[in-house]
Chain A
Amino acid sequence: MTQTLKSKKAVEYLLTVWVIITLNFLLPRLMPGDPFLFISGAEGEDIARFSEAQRAYYIDQYDFDSPLPVQYGQYIAALAGGDLGYSIYYNEPVAPLLLRRLPWTLLLVCSTVGLSTLFGTLLGGLSARYQGKWIDRLLFIGLIVVSEIPAFLLGLVLLFVFAAGMQLFPLSGAMTHFAAHESAWRIFCDIVLHATLPIATLTLVRTGGIYLLARNSIITVMARDYLRTARAKGLGRLRIFWRHALRNAMLPIVTRVFLSLGTLVGGAILVENVFNYPGLGRLMREAVMVHDYPLIQGIFLLVTLTVLSANFLADLIYKRLDPRIDTGAAFPAVREAG
């Protein structure tokens, strides 16, 4: 049963991947009008005019003259070889460009996931322990309010208050430009300084959701019979909480962490732009501003496929964590905690 289910999920995953790749392929070809005469008209923007050379390059790149299936074949072949095209604006192949910017986005995303899960779970546990008391109510209202505010709005607040206003943090970038650092430690501190506000923004926004889930999950688990059995056995409090309660309560949290990666990525894109952080999000905006289509497509593909893989991974991990799953019911623990 597990085997067929695994393969079913794998098929679904591959199907979705194919849909994304094909969508990516079709987009420039579906655009209304002549794609290369399109000019953004917002004031104060860089208006990318395509020079004849660029235009010629693009037409050659996309090969609009060949029949569609042939274009598709070429596209797939190129993808398989790791060739994501060539960026006109940055004047280099897309793939290495992405790889250079990727680590910064990863830094934001991974730190956020780690911190928000940690804080969310701890605060949720705290709330569950003191359910109904003032600390629970305070945390509840506070975190809910903060989590409702959209990430980029919150980011703006932090930027203007802490960076521009109090000047505690730098206004942009991932590292101080043109700085020569003496040691690895200094480099590390510099990076942390620049990353603090973006990470703080994203973490604040996400913690609320995790907190709520953790709180409910822990409360549900604490009421379960096996917790009573554990206490009856005379086990120590720490062991009961850690091995019995948390082990069960974490299941829906873990699932949620993986499933909400898509939203997190969206938030990260916006936040990078607020703080001028040189990750993939900022790159994407720049690419859109200058209509660098290969770059846009490259980023799109990378980001989307990553999120997809994370979801697929979530499925697999969940099955390992919860030994009860060997039927088709997906994520019953998530529904349990509500």
Chain B
Amino acid sequence: MKARVTTGIQFLRRMSAGGKTGAFILLAFVFVAAAASIISLHPHRQISGPPLSPPGPSHWLGTDDLGVDLWAQICHGARVSLIIGLGTALLAGLGGALAGILAGYAGGLTDAVLMRLIDIMIVLPDLPVMIVLAAFFGPSLMTIVIVLSLFSWVHTARIVRSRVLSLKQRRYIHAAETFGAGMVYLMHRHFLPEIFPLAAVSMIRLTGRAIVAEAGLSFLGLGDPTSRSWGLIIHHATNFQGIYYTDFWTWWLLYPWLALTLIVTALALVGRDLEKMADPRMMRGHGKPI
């Protein structure tokens, strides 16, 4: 565990400027989400001012059509995005990684079954299915996380499985097996250290996709109506009659849009950086953990 932390720090240091920027932005969002109540002057669910007022000293980002402070909504919306993102990433990422390891190492029937499942799920277009499921099962954060996870685990599983398969072929694994190594040892000593960076990259990707998916669903009106997610704000804004003929959108629409774009871009930057670093060619040069 300690070694993993050190590698983590090594990673951070080796990031490019873009990656560092992305990481910084992400951390900023995490802070905002955590401290949302503290850093907002006004509550996020109650009317605290005149509706549709532009940004000003009392309402930093203005108010929406009901008069609820926009800044507060956005801060609390960060929580939603992060919960969805991280929740899906963990569920799908870890689940997918485990499935991939299982399929790759066990082989045989387990692998065949899992592969069929993956093949079938991977060709399904995710958004239509998510819309339909959301329509039938009702929108709630829980449902969304579960639905998103159900769709995303296949990607991680596939990548992990193919890496495990190629690892299985390596001579040094054969050598360890002749020395009497069991699956637990191999997992701990050889597989997990190689899989970990792959899974990490995959999870960052998943976070981004989950956040975007939730925003999309909320924008369509299929999200959790109580959640105050950014997508939902945009949904209300675009449904407002006359939004196109006035300039209310310059804050009501712009700021949630900006928040979404920033977090997605930050995740993309970090993700690409991690991808480059997790490249096995680079791993070989720098010390392996443990």
Q: Do A and B come together as binding partners?
A: yes
Partner-B contacts on A (CB < 8 A): 12, 15-16, 19-20, 27-28, 30-32, 35, 38, 41-45, 144-145, 148-150, 152-153, 156-157, 160, 163-164, 171, 261-263, 265-267, 269-270, 273-274, 284-285, 287-289, 291, 296-297, 299-300, 303-304, 307-308, 311
Residues 95 to 142 of chain B near chain A (Cβ within 8 Å): 116, 119-120, 123-129, 131-138
A266 & B126 in contact (Cβ 8 Å cutoff): yes
A262 & B124 in contact (Cβ 8 Å cutoff): yes
A30 & B125 in contact (Cβ 8 Å cutoff): no
B136 & A30 in contact (Cβ 8 Å cutoff): yes
Closest 7 CB pairs of A and B: A266-B127, A262-B125, A148-B268, A164-B244, A288-B135, A150-B212, A42-B225
Given A32-B138, A171-B244, A266-B128, residue A42 in contact with residue B221 (CB < 8 A): yes
26 A–B pairs (Cβ distance < 8 Å), ordered by A: A15-B116, A16-B120, A16-B124, A44-B239, A45-B221, A145-B265, A148-B268, A150-B215, A150-B260, A160-B249, A164-B245, A262-B123, A262-B124, A262-B126, A263-B126, A265-B127, A266-B128, A266-B216, A267-B127, A288-B134, A289-B221, A296-B132, A296-B136, A299-B128, A300-B132, A307-B124
Residues 202 to 237 of chain B near chain A (Cβ within 8 Å): 212, 215-216, 219-222, 225, 234, 236
The reply on B164 being an interface residue by CB < 8 A is no
Instruction: Give CA–CA (A307, B122) in the complex, Å.
Output: 11
Q: Which residue of A lies closest to B236 (CB)?
A: A44
**B230-256 vs A: 1/0 string, CB under 8 Å?**
000010101100001100010001000
The reply on B264 being an interface residue by CB < 8 A is yes
A residues less than 8 Å from B244 (CB atoms): 160, 163-164, 171
Instruction: Give CA–CA (A42, B239) in the complex, Å.
Output: 12
From the candidates B132, B234, B264, name the one contacting A148 in the complex (CB within 8 A): B264
Tell me the minimal C-beta distance from B146 to chain A in angstroms: 13
A12 & B119 in contact (Cβ 8 Å cutoff): yes
Instruction: Give CA–CA (A321, B220) in the complex, Å.
Output: 40
Partner-A contacts on B (CB < 8 A): 116, 119-120, 123-129, 131-138, 212, 215-216, 219-222, 225, 234, 236, 238-239, 244-245, 249, 253, 257, 260-261, 264-265, 268, 272
A273 & B220 in contact (Cβ 8 Å cutoff): yes
Given A153-B257, A163-B244, A299-B128, residue A31 in contact with residue B136 (CB < 8 A): yes
From the candidates A19, A44, A45, A284, name the one contacting B131 in the complex (CB within 8 A): A284
Instruction: Give CA–CA (A285, B131) in the complex, Å.
Output: 8
Instruction: Give CA–CA (A266, B126) in the complex, Å.
Output: 7
Q: Is the interface of B mostly helix, strand, loop or mixed?
A: helix
A148 & B221 in contact (Cβ 8 Å cutoff): no
A residues less than 8 Å from B124 (CB atoms): 16, 20, 262, 304, 307-308
A274 & B238 in contact (Cβ 8 Å cutoff): yes
B131 & A265 in contact (Cβ 8 Å cutoff): no
B261 & A153 in contact (Cβ 8 Å cutoff): yes
Tell me the minimal C-beta distance from B273 to chain A in angstroms: 12
Instruction: Give CA–CA (A145, B268) in the complex, Å.
Output: 9
12 further interface pairs, Cβ-Cβ under 8 Å (given A288-B220, A303-B125): A38-B138, A152-B219, A153-B260, A156-B238, A261-B125, A262-B125, A273-B220, A288-B135, A289-B221, A300-B129, A304-B124, A304-B125
B residues less than 8 Å from A27 (CB atoms): 132-133, 136
Tell me the minimal C-beta distance from A85 to chain B in angstroms: 14
Instruction: Give CA–CA (A160, B257) in the complex, Å.
Output: 12
Instruction: Give CA–CA (A32, B138) in the complex, Å.
Output: 9
Instruction: Give CA–CA (A273, B265) in the complex, Å.
Output: 23
B128 & A265 in contact (Cβ 8 Å cutoff): yes
Instruction: Give CA–CA (A270, B257) in the complex, Å.
Output: 15
Instruction: Give CA–CA (A153, B249) in the complex, Å.
Output: 14
A150 & B264 in contact (Cβ 8 Å cutoff): yes
B residues less than 8 Å from A304 (CB atoms): 124-125, 128-129
B residues less than 8 Å from A311 (CB atoms): 123
Q: Which residue of B lies closest to A297 (CB)?
A: B132
A residues less than 8 Å from B137 (CB atoms): 31-32
Looking at B119, B125, B219, the one whose CB has the most chain A CB atoms below 10 A away is B125
